[in-house]
């Protein structure tokens, strides 16, 4: 099967997030962008399928800045193609709706049997790209998948439901599967292979339309979560602590 893996770049939560007071949005000046973790799982699952059944894997991303290294890393891991869509306004961030539009445009030629996307991203304020993409392409979508198996031209996705329920859902291809977790953690590929990919591989660059805001939720403001009032520390020996705790629980009406 020919598999496409869209990769979204999201703010690195290792850095402190700041809100630009003039726009009310995240300040992107010093922001470090990293591939969305679940998209890395989607890539891992795609590579596992390729190893098992053959086929190709292509990674595709919007050029929101500094994406090349991640694309080359994907190639070093075993992806056959890397596609970068550049366009106006991408660097300021692209909503999920716009992202799905742009990806649909790039993927609509039907050369892919399967699209594996991370089921969600840490920056999601606007819905899941995978589901939107499936809708735009008019093909089936299964989200929250933890396993994908190829079976006679179709795929069977294992989806997790709350309460420990698992469903096996068979879908005909082409289809979009939202990956919650790959079968195993994303692989680490040695730096020498990444360097080798940087020297030898080529990133296919495509021109995309300007990112629109159509259909997306409008963000009116952002603020960091407020800190709580803090915890009360109870000191003393076990008996005193227990007594005090019972008192507090009674006072709060729990007991």
Given the rule CB under 8 A, which residues bind another protein?
Answer: 12, 14-16, 32, 34, 76, 185, 187-197
Which residue in 172, 195, 226, 218 sits closest to 76, CA to CA? 195
Q: Alpha-carbon distance 100 to 106, whole Å? A: 10
**Cβ closest to another protein, residue 161 vs residue 188:** 188
**Cβ closest to another protein, residue 17 vs residue 210:** 17
Which residue in 136, 105, 99, 63 sits closest to 212, CA to CA? 99
Taking the complex as a whole, how short is the minimal distance between the CB of residue 143 and another protein, in angstroms?
A: 25
**Cβ closest to another protein, residue 8 vs residue 97:** 8
**Cβ closest to another protein, residue 75 vs residue 132:** 75
Which residue in 244, 224, 227 sits closest to 236, CA to CA? 244
Handedness of CA 208, 45, 129, 175 (dihedral sign): positive
Dihedral angle of Cα 150, 187, 165, 8, to the nearest 10 degrees: -90
78-110 b/e (C-beta count within 10 Å ≥ 16 → b): bbebbbbbebeebbebbbbbbbbbbbbebbeee
Taking the complex as a whole, how short is the minimal distance between the CB of residue 86 and another protein, in angstroms?
A: 23
**Cβ closest to another protein, residue 193 vs residue 213:** 193
Taking the complex as a whole, how short is the minimal distance between the CB of residue 182 and another protein, in angstroms?
A: 12
**Cβ closest to another protein, residue 76 vs residue 85:** 76
Q: Alpha-carbon distance 249 to 255, whole Å? A: 6
Taking the complex as a whole, how short is the minimal distance between the CB of residue 10 and another protein, in angstroms?
A: 14
Question: CB under 8 Å to 207, separation ≥6 — which residues?
Answer: 85, 86, 87
**CA-based angle 236:239:243, to the nearest 5?**
95
Taking the complex as a whole, how short is the minimal distance between the CB of residue 176 and another protein, in angstroms?
A: 27
Taking the complex as a whole, how short is the minimal distance between the CB of residue 190 and another protein, in angstroms?
A: 5
């Amino acid at each position: 099967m020919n598999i496409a893996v869209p990769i979204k770049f999201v703010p690195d939560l290792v850095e402190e997030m700041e809100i630009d007071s003039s726009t009310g949005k995240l300040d992107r000046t010093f922001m470090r962008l990293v591939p969305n973790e679940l998209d890395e799982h989607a890539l891992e699952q795609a590579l596992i399928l390729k190893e098992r059944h053959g086929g190709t894997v292509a990674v595709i991303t919007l050029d929101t800045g500094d994406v090349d290294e991640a694309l080359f890393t994907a190639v070093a891991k075993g992806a056959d193609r890397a596609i970068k869509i550049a366009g106006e306004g991408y660097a300021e961030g692209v909503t999920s709706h716009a992202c799905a539009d742009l990806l649909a445009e790039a993927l609509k030629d039907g050369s892919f049997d399967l699209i594996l996307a991370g089921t969600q991203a840490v920056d999601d304020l606007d819905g899941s790209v995978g589901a939107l993409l499936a809708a735009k392409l008019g093909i089936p979508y299964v989200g929250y998948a933890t396993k994908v198996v190829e079976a006679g031209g179709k795929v069977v996705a294992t989806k997790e439901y709350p309460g420990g329920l698992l469903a096996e859902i068979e879908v005909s291809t082409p289809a979009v599967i939202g990956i919650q977790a790959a079968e195993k953690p994303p692989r680490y590929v040695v730096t020498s292979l990444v360097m080798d990919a940087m020297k030898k591989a080529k990133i296919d660059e495509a021109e995309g339309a300007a990112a629109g805001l159509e259909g997306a939720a409008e963000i009116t403001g952002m603020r960091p979560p407020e800190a709580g009032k803090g915890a009360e520390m109870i000191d003393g020996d076990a008996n005193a602590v227990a007594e005090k705790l019972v008192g507090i629980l009674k006072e709060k009406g729990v007991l």
